[in-house]
Amino acid sequence: MAASLRPPEVPQTTMATAIGCETVHGFCRAILERDDLASKLRPPRRADGSALADDAGGSPLYIDRPARCAGLVMGGGAAPLPRPGELREPEARVRCLARFAHHELMAVELFAWALLRWPELPGALRQGLLAALADEQRHTTLYLERLHAHGASLLDHAPHSDYFWRQAPAIAASPHGVQAFLAAMGLTLEQANLDFALLYRDAFRAAGDEESAAVLQQIFDEEISHVALAAHWMRVLDGGQRSLTAIYLDAVPFPLSPARAKARRFEAAARRRAGLDEEFIELIRGARSSQETASPRPPAPGSGLEESGRIGGR
């Protein structure tokens, strides 16, 4: 997209120019404590373009909710996501893109939240989380650009669902510490996006919106590394003695569960690329939600059950 078409909510600068954003701690606090979109999408770099100083090892900081301006205010839920076959209608595509952009924005905030909540993490894990945060910022921007191309803005779609943020108290209270976060974000929400991203990639393509389909393909490709990051560190932090299945089942915070880590379209190959073993893949493939168990018919895309994945339902 040409620079002149960049939507106004996407920051023009590529530098972390704000005072107090020269360290990882200050950068993460700015994302959570400033209410504007530009502050939340400013990349993790110093004003001169160099890497942020990693001030690991300070006191843990718990922030229960991020600051949000009026156009980003969150409510309790969300209307059903348009079904893939409905994306022939421009308004349905706009609703999908706004929902997807907000999912990515919540992920940005929650990676910042985790870095503040557990400052004592190994340096390699902190850098991995910071890199994932930067990916989520870029994903948000890609969706914002597609919204702008459709003549729309994320700020016009408030209130937004707070589904990701509703998981934060249980994650913070878990005795499993950052493993609860990795289980919730990487191995549940982001794992589900391996399915939902391709489902909606194909739907946008069928609707003739190849540009949005390309964005979903890019996000799918990069999501694999986020799932891999979570799986690797779940094993490392556990000491390498137990299976990923056992570690995940212990650490995943309720109400998240294996059934919320997938869509009806199940991408086993993508999970293998992320380093998930066959036992864990089959656990996710075979998991059924309480709604599915109670219903003789599988849920349709766009139903409330798709609140389980990064894209569907929230």
pLDDT single digits (tens) 216-227? 999 999 999 999
Q: Does the pLDDT at position 302 exceed 50?
A: no
Give the pLDDT mean for 284-308. Answer: 55
pLDDT value of residue 289? 66
pLDDT value of residue 308? 42
Distances (CA, A) of 217 to 193, 214, 224: 11, 5, 11
What is the overall mean pLDDT for the chain?
A: 88
User: Looking at per-residue confidence, does 18 or 48 come out higher?
Assistant: 48
DSSP state of 313: -
DSSP state of 157: S
Percent of the chain with pLDDT over 70: 85
pLDDT value of residue 20? 56
CA dihedral 19, 24, 28, 33 (to 10 degrees): -30
pLDDT value of residue 290? 54
User: Looking at per-residue confidence, does 152 or 54 come out higher?
Assistant: 152
E-only strand ranges, the chain: 74-75, 160-161
What distance in Å separates the CA atoms of residue 66 and residue 48, rounded to the nearest whole number? 27
Give the pLDDT mean for 56-61. Answer: 84
Give the pLDDT mean for 83-98. Answer: 96
Q: Does the pLDDT at position 309 exceed 60?
A: no
Q: Does the pLDDT at position 19 exceed 90?
A: no
User: Looking at per-residue confidence, does 78 or 294 come out higher?
Assistant: 78
Q: Does the pLDDT at position 1 exceed 50?
A: no
Q: Does the pLDDT at position 2 exceed 60?
A: no
pLDDT single digits (tens) 3-13? 333 455 544 43
pLDDT value of residue 13? 37
What distance in Å separates the CA atoms of residue 44 and residue 118, rounded to the nearest whole number? 18
pLDDT value of residue 79? 80
Q: Does the pLDDT at position 27 exceed 90?
A: yes
The verdict on whether omega for the bond into residue 159 sits within 30 degrees of 0, i.e. cis, is yes
Percent of the chain with pLDDT over 90: 77
pLDDT single digits (tens) 173-222? 999 999 999 999 999 999 999 999 999 999 999 999 999 999 999 999 99
What is the C-alpha radius of gyration for the chain, rounded to an integer number of angstroms? 19
pLDDT value of residue 311? 54
pLDDT value of residue 204? 98
What distance in Å separates the CA atoms of residue 253 and residue 261, rounded to the nearest whole number? 13
* Residue 312 pLDDT level (bands cut at 50, 70, 90): very low
Give 64's contacts (C-beta < 8 A, 6+ positions apart). Answer: 168, 169
Give 293's contacts (C-beta < 8 A, 6+ positions apart). Answer: none
pLDDT value of residue 314? 41
With contact defined as beta carbons under 8 Å apart, do 263 and 302 qualify?
no
What distance in Å separates the CA atoms of residue 135 and residue 108, rounded to the nearest whole number? 8
Global model pTM greater than 0.85: yes
pLDDT value of residue 313? 40
* Residue 22 pLDDT level (bands cut at 50, 70, 90): confident
What distance in Å separates the CA atoms of residue 199 and residue 213, rounded to the nearest whole number? 10
